Amino acid sequence: MSTAKFFSENYQEARLRFVEAASLLKANLKSFTLPKILAPDGSELCIDTAWVGRADAKVILLCISGTHGPEGFCGSAAQLQTLTDGSIDNLPEDVAVLFIHALNPYGFAYMSRYNENNVDLNRNWINFDDIPKTSALCQELNSLLPPIDKFNEQHFNKALQSLAKLLEKHGGLAVENALGAGQYSIPEGLGYGGKEREWSSVILAEILSSLNPRTQKIAYLDWHSLVRSGTDDMVYLCFNKTDDPLFKRCASWWGDHNIRTEAVAEKWNKGLGREGGRPERHGLVMWGVQDATQACQEVAGGVVEFTDQPLEPLLQKLENMRAMLLSRYFAHNRDLSSEYNQSLYLQSRELWAPSDQSWRELQLQHAQRIFNATLNGAAIWANETSDVETNNE
């Protein structure tokens, strides 16, 4: 199999391929254009959606890519595969699939996990009347970052060295929590969750507000990359609470052994080269989906991460830091024409979506199996779901 037809070279190519494949399937396509900022080639930056199946399906499978910008290289490849491999040519009764391509189009095009305002969209769905406090460790960590305006390899290495010291002092979990939980007070820092709903979040809410009232259940599958926990299987982050029946629902698709908290923590630790439990998170997109849908609509599922082989733990931690620093750099620097920026761009792409053929083939096989298991679960869910009572007054 040639994986090059699924893994695109850049955002523009991924977008064109997605729209073309969805058009061939006669999907209902919509585009939402990011105001004011263009892609590196001068074209528009868009969130594209494709609806396949009946408009009033009881269950929809909501499949998202590019929440974290360049993680969209993998997510878009998985979506493109699903659109072209026959998986959804004959959808189960009462199930529709809604693809959202490049939820963070700026980050996808400019190689940043963060968006055009340096915001992590997967931390943006908090209640802004009750903002979480920034921890002292998070403040310390952000004080070690290189300047935004003058930035070179020396700055990079200096920051990485300071961060390595911090890791040694506080341990991987504490640093990851400080870095990854989401912070709301340092706009130029890492893990910034914003001061209001970002454009992408507003668009997502708009997309979901137009769901048919007959739709009651949402199977949520948000493709991310990349966790270095080994390539036997992907990493499944179910965001339903473990005592919620929706957690069991999700377990029936992805395997109880895969989504149990301890199992996920074990893989995550391996993938991030650290010890400890599952980190804390604020403002996840899935909670936004829950927020934006109606009370009668249930949402089950979560994030599925592409994986790769583990590195030596310290190297792993530093590589993760490097990926974050590069993201912050590209959230603030849009000129991709210089040789230095081009080399950082290519280096980053390799971190988010390795170019190795056999790796890509294996990951696409996992993605196909996981998508089809989720679709099968959605079909079972639809069969169990009775019609909404209509008011015949």
Calpha distance 61→319 (Å, rounded)? 33
Between 68 and 322, CB nearer to Zn ion? 68
Which of the ranges 17-25, 64-72, 250-258, 366-374 carries the binding residues for Zn ion, by CB under 5 A?
A: 64-72
The residue range among 48-56, 61-69, 331-339, 366-374 that interacts with Zn ion, by the rule CB under 5 A, is 61-69
CB of 71 to Zn ion, least distance (A): 5
Examine residue 228 and tell whether it contacts Zn ion (CB under 5 A): no
- In the complex, what is the shortest distance from the CB of residue 68 to Zn ion, in angstroms, rounded to a whole number? 4
Count of residues interacting with Zn ion (CB under 5 A): 3
* Neighbour count for residue 94 (Cβ, 10 Å): 22
Question: What is the smallest separation between the CB atom of 303 and Zn ion, expressed in angstroms?
Answer: 7
**Which of these segments, 82-90, 224-232, 247-255, 339-347, binds Zn ion (CB under 5 A)?**
224-232
Contacts of Zn ion in 8-37 (CB under 5 A)? none
Q: Residue written as tokens 């996981």?
A: 370
Among 68, 101, 217, 249, binds Zn ion (CB under 5 A): 68
Contacts by 178-182, CB closer than 8 A, 24 or more apart: 178/135, 178/137, 178/138, 178/140, 178/141, 179/138, 179/141, 179/324, 180/279, 180/281, 181/123, 181/132, 181/138, 181/279, 181/280, 181/281, 181/282, 182/120, 182/123, 182/126, 182/132, 182/281, 182/282, 182/283
Nearest CB to Zn ion, comparing residues 79 and 84: 79
Binding status of residue 224 toward Zn ion by CB under 5 A? yes
Are 222 and 304 spatial neighbours (Cβ–Cβ below 8 Å)? yes
Of the ranges 70-78, 147-155, 197-205, 268-276, which one interacts with Zn ion (CB under 5 A)? Answer: 70-78
Comparison of 71 and 176: residue with beta carbon closer to Zn ion: 71
Task: Give the residue from 352, 181, 191, 183 showing the smallest Cα distance to 278.
Answer: 181
Q: How far apart are the C-alpha atoms of 33 and 40, rounded to whole Å?
A: 15
Check binding of 58 to Zn ion (CB under 5 A): no
Please give the residue ranges that form the binding site for Zn ion (CB under 5 A).
Answer: 68, 71, 224
